Structure 1
Amino acid sequence: MSTTEEKNKAVVARLIDAWNRDDLAALMTHWAPEMVHHARDGVLDAATVGAEMGRFMRAFRKIRMEVHSVVAEGDLVATRFTVHARHDGDYLGVPATHRQIRCALMGQLRIVDGLVVEHWGVADGLHLLEQLGLLPEQYLSATA
């Protein structure tokens, strides 16, 4: 593994640590000001992503990122996690249920000079919605 790949994996390790400490400010120190997130409906800037992450962190406490794999190649790092948390605040209009949730998350980051400049991510949102009581369980069997 090249030095660049090792450094990029270290950036991801610091991001995971910040998530696990519930520290949005620390997360954002690893993002380039021009960082973009490639979302389902287009591209989001760093401020928009930060606001959404803050909303998630306020609704879900005791976040723990369970790392399954981190693979680096050049300036790209691919990740696979399970996010564990407790629903302790309003989310999508659902008041706190205090339920433990888990959600599969896969992502890819492009890291340049130690900062994330691009991010792509896919979360198992259907499973999250089912755990919050917003989606009937039988819908999940169609997507398993």
Structure 2
Amino acid sequence: MRLGGTVHVDTDQLAANKAVVGKLVDAWNVRDVSQMMRYWSPDMVHHGRDGAMPASEVGGEMQRFIAAFPDIHIHVEEMIAERDLVSTRLTVSATHSGPYLNIEPTGRSVRCALMGQLRIVGGKVVEHWGVADTVHLLEQLGLIDGELLEATA
């Protein structure tokens, strides 16, 4: 909001929004889906590579991911807040120990970069956009040839 030519920034609200995202990451790191869901609005929409996913499907997707990567750990590299948005740059590390997306467990350890943006209203995530370095993940799982990728770049 502009007041007298200056921009008013509610730093308390920005900090509160970042805290919500921090708690969500903490819940991921202890693999507690019910705790994660406390921070998602019932009307939340996740925007991913396959289009929009309603809140009713998000919990199941998180459970499937945790079953495939039971030792998942998310490290926040950077978090920036502006208005009702929080943007994150994350590193996810895990071991592929269970089936996921029709991929049988490989037992391989992986690290993957993730970028996310979350819109927070009333202390709850109402929208989430996320992208992952899927090509690098598939390379680490041995499903694509990294040398072939470099040759075509």
Normalising by structure 1, we get a TM-score of 0.92
Q: Does 1:54 align with 2:63?
A: yes
Q: For residues 29 and 92 of structure 1, what CA distance do their matches in structure 2 show?
A: 26
Aligned Cα root-mean-square deviation (Å)? 1.7
Larger Rg: 2
Q: For residues 129 and 58 of structure 2, what CA distance do their matches in structure 1 show?
A: 12
Q: Does 1:126 align with 2:126?
A: no
Q: Per-residue CA shift, 1:123-144, capped at 9, x if unaligned?
A: 0111111111221213443788
* Equivalent in the alignment of 1:141: 150
Amino acid at match of 1:106: M
Q: For residues 48 and 33 of structure 1, what CA distance do their matches in structure 2 show?
A: 11
* Equivalent in the alignment of 2:3: none
Q: Does 1:36 align with 2:45?
A: yes
Which among 100, 103, 109 is matched to residue 109 of structure 2?
100
Give the match's secondary structure for 2:80.
strand
Unaligned runs of 5+ residues in structure 1 are none
* Equivalent in the alignment of 1:17: 26
Q: For residues 18 and 140 of structure 1, what CA distance do their matches in structure 2 show?
A: 35
Q: For residues 41 and 59 of structure 2, what CA distance do their matches in structure 1 show?
A: 12
* Equivalent in the alignment of 2:91: 82
Q: In the superposition, relative to structure 1, how do residues 119 and 142 fare at CA in structure 2: closer, same or farther (>3 Å)? A: farther
* Equivalent in the alignment of 1:65: 74
Count of residue pairs brought into register by the alignment: 144
Amino acid at match of 1:72: A
* Equivalent in the alignment of 1:111: 120
Q: For residues 104 and 21 of structure 2, what CA distance do their matches in structure 1 show?
A: 32
Q: Per-residue CA shift, 1:77-128, capped at 9, x if unaligned?
A: 0000010011111122332222111110000000001000000011011111
Unaligned runs of 5+ residues in structure 2 are 1-9
Q: For residues 81 and 120 of structure 2, what CA distance do their matches in structure 1 show?
A: 10
